[in-house]
Structure 1
Amino acid sequence: MPRGHKEALRAAARTLLRRKGLQATTARDLVEESGTNLASIGYHFGSKDALMGAALTDLVRDWTERPVTASRAVHGAGQGAPLAAGLRTMLDGLGERRAEVLAALEAVVASGRGDPVGAALPGALRAALAAVAVEVRASAPDLDEQQAAAAAAVIVALHDGLALLSTAVPDAVPAPDAVLAALVGLGADLQPVFAERGGTRR
């Protein structure tokens, strides 16, 4: 097969994921968008579903890399600065990513139903959680691995929940700084309960 077909197909899949969604994209759509041929899909990816799964993985990785890069840019700037920068970047512009969010929601439903087109989602999310956990520990080194993993799950769930809200009730999604203020307030409210339990983080 000509060199470049694999990259062209993956780029086309990312474009169509945003334009048409996960399941509405056909093999012929992919061929037309990429300028390749049907045989290229099987040769490089095995199936159309596997190609769309690769594009979905790219999407989740992009969502993760943006806040991770922002967090790393302010390492050493003071306690909480990396986490705050990552959270702001993660939540900024959710409304502008509506098509991507809807595609991800399709993948959640497909994965839950055992549909092959959603098979790549669990692995992509595990990679995202691991990357976020690394940044959490860099920002809060007193946390152990289990605590950092729990924090990463909360952060990813915060993003995904607000992303879901942005597709249905966009005017209800708070600004990133308002989210940070809410987290600080909730932390202060929960601190007495935490102290009563002897400081356990379980």
Structure 2
Amino acid sequence: MARTEAGGYRERLLAGAMACLQEKGYARTTARDLVAASGTNLASIGYHFGSKEALLHEAIAGFFDQWIARVERSMFSTEPSSPREMLERAMTELVDVFEELRPQLVLYVESYPAALREAALREKLADSYARCREVGADMVRRAVAQLGVELPMAPEVIVSVLVAVSDGLLLQWLLDPDATPDARQVVDALAALSVLFA
């Protein structure tokens, strides 16, 4: 396992936790693994995070935050010409990145069974989804203001549906990548549904 040397202990522990989670998974990562990967010591886990589990939860939440920031950068890198272009940008960063993010996405999926039994992890993941809805809704508001359009519903609902689409496609992709639609096909499907049910 690669050892993380850069940064202070907290940052090194988080980087080490992410490395361990991707290599060993949530259930099999030990405190000693975290110390070896981060180049720190056992006491630093308790000092900075309180427990091994809290450190792992924080690392998983950090992945969520990085992914959200990536979507935001893509959406607002240049001014979009239409709502469809804005949606395509978002879906590209939510769907067409599966191969690149595969190790983190496997970890993300593996965290769900543990969250069903661990209240602290369940709460951390729920907080991550809440942050995703909040930040995503702000992105939608900014986008529609730039484009001069009005939303027919609360932006939080739109974001929740797009996240659900991304999560569902992620599960399909992990099992059968070749059968999973890409971002453009997703946007085309959503457009077709809007015509059918308008």
Q: Displacement of 1:38 after TM fit?
A: 0.4
Separation in 2 of the partners of 1:39 and 1:134? Answer: 39
Q: TM-score scaled to structure 2, two decimals?
A: 0.87
Partner of 2:112: 108
Amino acid of the residue matched to residue 151 of structure 2? Answer: L
The answer to whether structure 1 residue 182 and structure 2 residue 189 are counterparts is yes
Match of 1:73 among 58, 62, 77: 77
Is the contact made by 2:21 and 2:29 (CA closer than 8 Å) also made in structure 1? yes
Matched length: 188
Separation in 1 of the partners of 2:179 and 2:83? Answer: 30
Is the contact made by 2:88 and 2:183 (CA closer than 8 Å) also made in structure 1? no
Separation in 1 of the partners of 2:185 and 2:27? Answer: 35
SS of residue matched to 1:96: coil
Q: Displacement of 1:117 after TM fit?
A: 4.2
Match of 1:49 among 48, 53, 63: 53
Unaligned runs of 5+ in 1: 192-202
Q: Displacement of 1:65 after TM fit?
A: 1.3
* RMSD of equivalent CA atoms: 1.8
Partner of 1:5: 9
Unaligned runs of 5+ in 2: 1-6
Separation in 2 of the partners of 1:124 and 1:61? Answer: 8
Partner of 2:34: 30
Percent of aligned pairs sharing the same letter: 33
Is the contact made by 1:80 and 1:139 (CA closer than 8 Å) also made in structure 2? no
Amino acid of the residue matched to residue 4 of structure 1? Answer: G
Amino acid of the residue matched to residue 92 of structure 1? Answer: D
Partner of 1:173: 180
* 179-188 or 34-43, larger mean C-alpha shift: 179-188
Q: TM-score scaled to structure 1, two decimals?
A: 0.85
Q: Displacement of 1:6 after TM fit?
A: 1.0
Partner of 1:143: 151
Amino acid of the residue matched to residue 167 of structure 1? Answer: L
